[in-house]
Amino acid sequence: MPPVKQDAVQEIKDRLDLVDLVSEHLRLQKAGRDLKGLCPFHQEKTPSLYVSPEKQLWHCYGCQKGGDHFTFIQDIEHVDFRGALRMLAEKTGVVLEESPGAGRQRELKRTIQRLNGLAAQYFHHILLENPAGQRALIQLESRGVTRASMTEFQLGFAPAGHRKDNLVRFLKKHGATDSEMVEAGLAMRPEGGGELWDRFRQRIIIPIHDERGELIAFGGRVIDDSNQPKYLNTSQTALYDKGRTLFNLHRARKSIHELKHAVLMEGYFDAITASQANVPNVVTTSGTALTEHQVRLLKRETQELVLAFDRDDAGLNATQRAIELASKSGIHIKVVRVPQGKDPDDYLRAHPDGWGNLREHALPEWEYLLRQALASLDLTEAEDRRRGAELVIPVLAKIPEASVLEIYAQQAGGWLRIEPAALVRDVQRVKSGVPALSPRGYRPPQPSPTRGEGDVRGAQGNPRKDEGYLLGLLIARPDLVPEVATELQGVVFSTPAYEGVFESLQRMVETDATAEPIDRLSEFAPDEQGLISAVAMTRYPELESGSEAALRQSLEQCLQTLRINASQRRLKALVAELRAARVSGDESRLVALMQENDRLARELGALKESRSGAS
């Protein structure tokens, strides 16, 4: 689909009231100037989802989801933005413009879908009804694949024999041209030229679908010990990109929603065997490392991911890469440890009822990585404990949240008989050289469930001029973003998720000085949309009064709060560094840290005095 013009998005919003859209999916009742209802995205008894007719935004103060028309449809229908755009355009009668060539591309996709459907029928028939498929059928049955699973997954077989064009001849009988078969990734032309060959020969065939259930490609597994690759996938086509596809997602989606987590395994047969073992929420990559797009597909369905890869070197490396990539999105990760020498397929065939026990003992991602780092060491030996300290520092340095870092520093310190503060100090020394995980996916501080208070009100219900309040003002007045960015040089938000929103605001305003963030909500990351809806739905007296002086005063109070928070965080970090310096007896470092502590204390006092005088 071509890039979306902003006027199409706005026209859809103009034609469809958000209240009417949300009311199609849940019962709303008046709540002051807004409406509220039970959130469909998490279980609750007291309504916490609010819709603002005035701002055409929605936000749940329970699960923190929120946004506009498009985010609501994305979440309720489990589609991406373009899917939501198509649905809402059809609903409102808005015609989406196509770029030149879009019609040809659409027709090509339809042709590939038709050929894939014919090929799937052909392969499936050969496996179950033709003597040429007998050997593959026996092999599948020996692996424990039932006839029911062969039918459910529409498994097939691509024969070879003395011919190399069995499928080609079949598709030609149904009107396929050479170029269409090549475009579909079902045939290829030999290097020396000549007639087309089947891409898949002498392979068990596994149909691959996209998240909507459309048949887009095939995977093929050899049935003998030839020198051919064990697995072969359809080449990239107009429909299929293996880095943007998760096998079995269309079948697993319902179970993922019901069970509140997805299980990621490596191979096609892992998913098939898991399905037979009543583990229906399994998806797999197509024999490749997990990609950012696949993580986004998973995040649309769930907030928790369980990894169950092989225990060989490749599987261990894939697990580590998956953790590092998926953690950036804010998905909570656990790792199932399949017994040594087994892969999930082997284990579940031998223990069809054993998944529950594996799942129960799954490790959180950081504990798993720490244990892996120390797995080869004897921690009763002092030298191994010293080596262990070196190995855990890079793992700890990837943890972005101070509270989480403290938890795992304590755990690692207990294993290594090292003061956790010493590990934290070493982490702080190297962290600048370690690629930081994106902050945007991590959950922001949970706001009060009371509507209208959000996270910008203090304990007495008075507005608290903090970073959340600042973002709310800037979303309403994006023209002030460059000025605030200049004032904040060298000062970071205490909440990483807010930092991400502010950076996105900066990029948007730099690109288009007239941009209105609320009108272009779809351009922000999904987690940012929830934050933006929360702060944008809060009422700001200085904005409602139209007083520029009051707005400027509030901005300065927010900026002072950020400066104070930054100084307090640095002072808190210095406490741990001072303690470590005393323990180590490093006198020169101790003196330098004490001087830094005194300087920061004076700076903090001046900031507080300045804020007190301004309020």
CATH number for the domain that contains residue 26: 3.90.580.10
User: How many structural domains compose the chain?
Assistant: 5
In a domain, 283, yes or no: yes
Indicate whether 235 and 257 sit together in one domain: no
CATH code of residue 429: 1.20.50
pLDDT band at 188 (very low <50, low <70, confident <90, very high): very high
Residue 446 domain-assigned (yes or no): no
Q: What's the per-residue H, E or C state across 463-518?
A: ECCCHHHHHHHHHHCHHHHHHHHHHCCCCCCCCHHHHHHHHHHHHHHHHCCCCCCC
Residues 400-457: tens digit of each pLDDT: 778 888 999 999 999 999 999 989 888 887 764 433 333 232 233 333 333 333 333 3
Is 41 found in the same domain as 153? no
Co-location of 113 and 191 in the same domain:
yes
- Mean residue pLDDT of the chain comes to 85
pLDDT number for residue 179: 94
Q: Indicate whether 122 and 218 sit together in one domain.
A: yes
Same domain, 605 and 477: yes
Residue 394 lies in a domain: yes
Q: How far apart are CA 260 and CA 367, in angstroms?
A: 21
Higher pLDDT, 591 or 152: 152
Percentage of the chain beyond pLDDT 70 is: 90
Kindly state whether residues 357 and 375 are assigned to the same domain. Answer: no
* Cα distance between residue 412 and residue 418, in whole Å: 8
142, 349 in Cβ contact below 8 A? no
CATH no. for residue 191? 3.90.980.10
Q: What is the pLDDT of residue 446?
A: 37
Same domain, 507 and 569: yes
Query: Residues 501-507: what's their mean pLDDT?
Result: 88
Do 132 and 212 fall within a single domain? yes
456 within domain boundaries: no
Phi, psi of 463 (to 5 degrees): -60, 130
Same domain, 513 and 397: no
Instruction: Note whether 114 and 227 are same-domain residues.
Output: yes
pTM of the model: 0.63
Q: Please, which pLDDT band fits residue 607 given cuts at 50, 70 and 90?
A: low
CB 160 within 8 A of CB 135: no
| Domain presence at residue 37 | yes
Judge if 188 and 216 occupy the same domain: yes
Give mean pLDDT, residues 123-140: 96
> In this model, does residue 463 exceed pLDDT 70?
no
- Residue 363's pLDDT band (boundaries 50, 70, 90)? very high
Q: Which of 433, 457, 488 is the last residue of a domain?
A: 433
Cα(483)–Cα(495) distance, integer angstroms: 21
Give dist(CA 413, CA 427) in Å, integer. 13
pLDDT for 211 beyond 80: yes
Q: Are residues 212 and 303 in the same domain?
A: no
Choosing from 92, 127, 153, the residue where a domain stops is: 92
- The pLDDT, as a whole number, for residue 279 is 96
Q: Per the domain annotation, does 406 fall within a domain?
A: yes
d(CA 449, CA 522): 25
Domain that holds residue 10: 6-92
Domain end (from 335, 361, 387): 361
Within-domain flag for 224? yes
Across 281-434, where does the E strand assignment appear?
Answer: 282-284, 304-307, 332-335, 363-364
Could you give the C-alpha distances from 522 to 119, 370, 430, in angstroms and in order? 38, 37, 36
pLDDT in tens, 255-306: 998 999 999 999 999 999 999 999 999 999 877 789 888 988 898 888 899 9
Q: Is 147 part of any domain?
A: yes
Q: What is the pLDDT of residues 35-71, one digit of tens each?
A: 999 998 887 888 999 999 999 999 999 888 999 999 9
